[in-house]
Amino acid sequence: MALTNSQYDAIMREYEDRQSRNRHLLEERKAYIFEHVEGYRELSDSVASLSVTQGKKLLSGDDSALKDLRDAISRLISKKQLLLAKAGYPSDYLSGIYSCPDCRDTGYINGQKCHCFKQAVIHLLYEQSGISDVLEKENFNTLSFEYYQGEDLERFQKTVSECRKFIETFDSDYHNLFFYGTVGTGKSFLSGCIAKELIENGHSVIYFSAAGLFEILSKNIFDYKNKDNTVDSCENLSDCDLLIIDDLGTEFTKNIAPSVLFSLLNERHLNKRSTLISTNLSLEDVRNRYSDRVFSRITSHYNLCKFTGPDIRMLQKRLQNRK
């Protein structure tokens, strides 16, 4: 996934903050050692004065000055390390401090992104997804089939397979998912499973409840005073690798919902950006509520996954109450 300029800038600002914090920490350490370790400051001052003296000799034609300087500095460094050791500090206590020693907090090693940079990308994507806390509990590792039986179980197993295929072919095959069915049957849970896997693979995933989505879109249309504040959000809606719209049908802005929803889905389809929609509405309700255009877009370009079975959340509450 290619980072947007704003995402890249956010990560690099974090690296700058790390460098600043670590420089400040190093200065605090030096100040403390200079004050509390007798003789250390004098040795440090000797290094500076020695460099000046030997530098003058080198400029005057003394070819041995550079070697003499290196030998003298090496001896002074050994003495400084000895003083630190006697005071109970490691020899590298006043060396450079880095959150990531491999790249020295630059994010790059020999022109290649460091492992810490890749981790920073994943962390940023989690934050921007809107469901980072949810994904700690709702993912494939906690997936269970125990609440389904018979035809409901077969249908859910088939949908799980569809979700895994969606993830495996995400980079090579543009496709969308539409989850519909009764309340509490696993639609949001499977959406989270997909989100976590894609984020871990470095893809940008943004989650919105339908209510939150249409609030953002409405502000972008009607709230001219705060329009600048919604521009980035709307750009992310259009450009993120996967947009998850959860609980379609629960939004309040019914009068503009069909037109703005079609515009968003159409733009993402034209740009080959995948979308996952979940709803408790039936297909007939979707057609009646959001117009034939929206219904046609969904049925033509989305894999339809129907969920049936008991309300799992209610079952879990009952089981907890029995304990």
53-81 average pLDDT score: 78
Q: Tell me: the pLDDT tens digits for 212-264?
A: 888 888 776 644 454 444 444 556 788 889 999 999 998 875 566 788 889 99
**Least confident interval from 41-55, 144-158, 211-225, 307-321:** 211-225
Contact call for residues 167 and 194 (beta carbons, < 8 A): yes
Domain assignment present for 122 = no
Which regions of the chain does DSSP assign to beta strands (E)?
A: 108-109, 112-113, 177-181, 205-209, 242-248, 274-279, 303-307
Give the whole-angstrom CA distance, residue 47 versus residue 54: 11
**pLDDT band of 55, cuts 50, 70, 90:** low
Tell me, what's the pLDDT at 255? 64
Q: Can you give the pLDDT at residue 219?
A: 74
Q: pTM to 2 decimals?
A: 0.69
Q: Residue 188 — very low, low, confident or very high, per pLDDT cuts 50/70/90?
A: very high
- Structural domain harbouring 108: 5-112
Are 274 and 138 members of one domain?
yes
Same domain, 269 and 136: yes
Query: How many Å apart are CA 98 and CA 80, to the nearest integer?
Result: 21
CA 247 to mean position of chain CA atoms:
23
Q: Cα(20)–Cα(315) distance, rounded to whole angstroms?
A: 52
The total number of residues written for the chain in this structure: 323
Q: Look up residue 141 and give its DSSP letter.
A: G
Q: Which pLDDT does position 134 carry in this prediction?
A: 80
pLDDT for the residue 323? 57
Torsion of CA 310, 311, 312, 317, to 10 degrees: -120
Residue 49 belongs to a domain = yes
Total of domains in the chain: 2
* pLDDT score recorded for residue 235: 63
**Does 123 map to a domain?**
no
Shared-domain flag, residues 223 and 298 = yes
High-pLDDT (> 70) share of the chain, %: 89
Q: Does 102 share its domain with 155?
A: no
Tell me what pLDDT residue 231 has. 41
**pLDDT of 160 over the 50 cut:** yes
Do the domain assignments include residue 236? yes
Identify the domain boundary among 112, 139, 160. Answer: 112
Can you give the pLDDT at residue 198?
93
CA distance 44 to 49: 9
Which structure tokens are listed for 250? 């629960």
Task: Tell me which of 79, 112, 145 is where a domain ends.
Answer: 112
Report percent pLDDT > 90 for the chain.
51
* In-domain check, residue 227: yes
Write down the pLDDT at residue 36: 93
Same domain for 61 and 149, yes or no, is no
DSSP 8-state symbol, 4: P
**Which residues make Cβ contacts (< 8 Å) with residue 284, sequence separation at least 6?**
none
Higher pLDDT, 59 or 138: 138
Which residues partner with 199 through β-bridges? none
pLDDT for res 305: 97
Residue 227 has a pLDDT of 46
Residues 269 and 185 in one domain: yes
- Looking at residue 228, its pLDDT comes to 45
Residue 260 and residue 176 share a domain? yes
Question: Which CATH number goes with the domain that contains 255?
Answer: 3.40.50.300
On whether the CB atoms of residues 76 and 43 are closer than 8 A, the answer is yes
Q: Is residue 225 part of a domain?
A: yes
Is 32 in the same domain as 140?
A: no
CA distances from 108 to 8, 10, 116 (A): 13, 16, 9
Do 70 and 212 lie in one domain? The reply is no
Does residue 87 surpass a pLDDT of 90? yes
Asked if residue 163 and residue 104 are part of one domain, the reply reads no
Give per-residue pLDDT as tens, 271-323.
Answer: 999 999 999 999 999 999 888 999 999 999 999 999 999 888 887 777 666 65
User: Is 180 part of any domain?
Assistant: yes
The verdict on residue 241 lying in a domain is yes
Q: Tell me: do 160 and 302 sit in the same domain.
A: yes
Do both 267 and 149 map to the same domain? yes
